[in-house]
Amino acid sequence: MDDTPDLFTPDAWYRLGRGPRYEQLYRHISAAIGAGDLPPETQLPPERELAEIAEVSRVTVRKAVAQLVEDGVLEQRRGAGTFVRAPRPKMEHSLSALLSFTEYMRQRGKTSASRILRRGLFLPNPDEQIALGLAGTDRVSRVDRLRSADDMPMALEWSSLPVDILPDPEAVQTSLYDILRAAGTAPTRAVQRITAVNLIGADARLLNLPDGAAVLRIDRTAYLPTGRPIEFTRGLYRSDIYDFIAELRLDQTP
Ligand code: 16G
């Protein structure tokens, strides 16, 4: 524990204009744990001491620590203190299950929410025309959303669907797939293309990440059982939270 106080002095974690202090402290401790600067079983200085070193109030420390406890990276042991937990696997997102964001978060005991950034009916752009098999004169229903789980921003998603599949984009509250399911038009197959990209500008701010942070970009085209493409969604997913797992099987057909 001897070297740990240096990790918490303000110059190590605080930057003006980069968000509330508790959030910056939270991100800093989280990154230090991820980088191995605070190995498992390291004991954090007590709250009062940490507040003094970090030059913040105890409330700020408490909020940051509470979030880290919730994330499962810190553990509070009664009467003993706060310790770094042994690493837990990241959220594994199976690539073979066709899950919606809402279902995926529910499986992990988290409550998802959507902030609508923009929605409406538009003429399709070339990417949408190709993915959805639309003519330039058709209309496309678009919903752009910031997705969060337990109030933490997780992903940005730009979804486009043919207008007969989603006639009213205003109907999307939290889950797009719930609406499709209710209409009997939920996709049963999807193809995804995954790329690593660096965030800039507004996208970084919306996801609460610094400029240049690496995220996963996933383009999903989803199909009805008939083979008709009905959803094209481009999403940016926080790579510090998501781990996409693909299961591979040996093809045993002769
Ligand atoms: C997932 C899908 C996205 C879909 C959304 C629907 C990936 C990479 N993408 O985020 O294509 O539109 O779920 O979720 O998994 P919802 O029903 O909660 O709106």
For ligand 1, the distance from its centroid to the CA atom of residue 223, given in whole angstroms, is: 13
* Residue minimizing CA distance to atom 4 of ligand 1: 100
Nearest to 100 by CA among 161, 181, 167: 181
Instruction: Decide: residue 253, CB within 10 A, 0-12 exposed, 13-18 middle, 19+ buried.
Output: exposed
Quick: pLDDT tens for 189-232.
999 898 999 998 999 999 988 889 999 999 999 999 899 999 99
C-alpha closest to that of 221 among 177, 164, 159:
159
Q: Which comes out higher in pLDDT, residue 30 or 129?
A: 129
Q: What is the pLDDT of residues 148-199, one digit of tens each?
A: 998 889 999 999 999 999 999 999 988 999 999 999 999 999 998 989 999 9
pLDDT at residue 1 tops 50? no
Residue 61 CA to ligand 1 centre (angstroms):
34
- Choose the residue to mutate in 101, 114, 193 for probing ligand 1, maximizing ligand atoms within 8 Å of C-beta: 101
